[in-house]
Amino acid sequence: MPSSAPLIRSKANGHGHGHNDHNGHKPEIPISYDINIPYVDVDKLSQINTPYPQYLPTWDPIWFDPLPPFDYLDPALRVKDPAMRNLLTPGVSVNHIQPTIGSVVHGVQLNRLSDAAKDELALLISQRKVLAFPDQDLIDDGPDAQESFMRYFGKPNYQPVSGTVRNHPAFHVIHRDGNREEIARFLDQRTTTTLWHQDVSYEIQPPGYVMLGLLQGPEVGGDTVFAATDMAYKRLSPTLRSFLDTLKCVHSSAKMIAHTRLTGGLVRKDPVDTVHPLIRVHPVTGEKCLFLNAEFITKIQGMKEPEVKWMLDFLMNHIVTGHDFQARVRWQPRTIVMFDNRSTTHSAIVDYLDEEYGAKARHIFRLIALGEKPIPVYDEFE
């Protein structure tokens, strides 16, 4: 998820009346890039009440070089039995949220799955796109166990700017508690807290499978909504689809990193610009999927700026308003959600606000398994 490091405000210059005391320009404090991530200084985190203090965000100065290409085989492709009998054992129930996207799975403990069951889990995620697993013991097994589980599905990703778990930089920590003034400043400029995106799409090999784990959340609110990008593609006309099949986009982390530096936050990676097809072919289902991220796409090759804006605005509006191919996941304590980042886009819903205190506590971790280089519709694009 797009995010940023804690805000470090500059101290007064100590010279009495500066030029800003008169008619000079007074710079405003930038609003959050993503309202899900609070700009809280590390030394203030000890004051926050959470049942999982080990997962409070830290910003240790670690540097990561760009991700090199690597070979990837989707574990779902190893599955021979479509009935998935290693995963879907007697007593397991799969209840669909919507007909084409999203399911809640009861009777499975992720930390007890065999390798064969993990392969089938990858297949079920590819088919259903979003799976919610309530009451998971893996939540309490600690960062080592959670990282080890996700490494089965692909290489870890190291977020360039967001808070992580100390000594575990593969974790992206989503934490919100209070901060009424910051939220008010955000909503003074924005009409919604939603930020639809596909995670770290700028990487040379973006995520395949993603895990979200709820550590603490409001009793009501804080849902996550997902849209199926294969269904969104199918709803377009054959004429438009044939044109989109030919397009390539530049995905960049430069805007997110520039915003972080503007606010004095910590950056762990240089900006990355990567060219990806606008339409990618899913390696497991064979479906064509929109690979779209209005936050990270800076250019569509061969198109002019007004045309790019028109195209992105149209496609994002198509996805955001497509409630007939969306699933809204309601979080419960100790829930783990796993989703396919190749065939979905998503947004958190920041509706758990209190007029007096700001946001109620919501604490989630994310782990990513990087997948294949996006497969274009036409081989000559490789």
* 320 lies in some domain: yes
Average pLDDT over residues 51-64: 91
* 355 lies in some domain: yes
CA dist 352 → 4, 6, 197, 221 (Å)? 21, 21, 21, 5
- What residues contact 79, with CB distance under 8 A and at least 6 apart? 119, 120, 122, 123
pLDDT top residue among 298 and 360: 298
At 27 the pLDDT is 60
Predicted confidence (pLDDT) per residue in 169-225, tens digit: 999 998 877 666 777 777 788 888 788 999 999 999 999 999 999 999 999 999 999
39 pLDDT higher than 80 = no
At 12 the pLDDT is 41
Predicted confidence (pLDDT) per residue in 133-142, tens digit: 999 999 999 9
* 142 lies in some domain: yes
94 pLDDT higher than 80 = yes
Predicted confidence (pLDDT) per residue in 284-333, tens digit: 999 999 999 888 999 999 999 999 999 999 999 999 999 999 999 999 98
Helix (H, G, I), strand (E, B) or coil at 277: strand
When divided into structural domains, the chain yields a total of 1
* 278 lies in some domain: yes
In degrees, rounded to 5, the angle at the alpha carbon of residue 354 between the alpha carbons of residues 294 and 217 is 70
At 277 the pLDDT is 98
Amino acid at 280: R
Question: For the chain, how big is the Rg over CA atoms in Å?
Answer: 21
* 163 lies in some domain: yes
Average pLDDT over the chain, rounded to an integer:
88
How remote is the C-alpha of 121 from its chain's centroid? 20
124 pLDDT higher than 70 = yes
* Residue of 377, 158, 125 whose CA lies nearest to 276: 377
Report yes or no: 340 and 235 within 8 Å, Cβ to Cβ. Answer: no
At 350 the pLDDT is 84
Amino acid at 109: Q
CATH of the domain at 370: 3.60.130.10
* 197 lies in some domain: yes
Report yes or no: 206 and 200 within 8 Å, Cβ to Cβ. Answer: yes
Which two three-digit tokens encode residue 199? 């995670």
Q: Domain range holding 89?
A: 73-381
* 118 lies in some domain: yes
Helix residue ranges per DSSP H, 211-298: 229-234, 238-244, 254-262
Which two three-digit tokens encode residue 127? 């088919």
* 27 lies in some domain: no
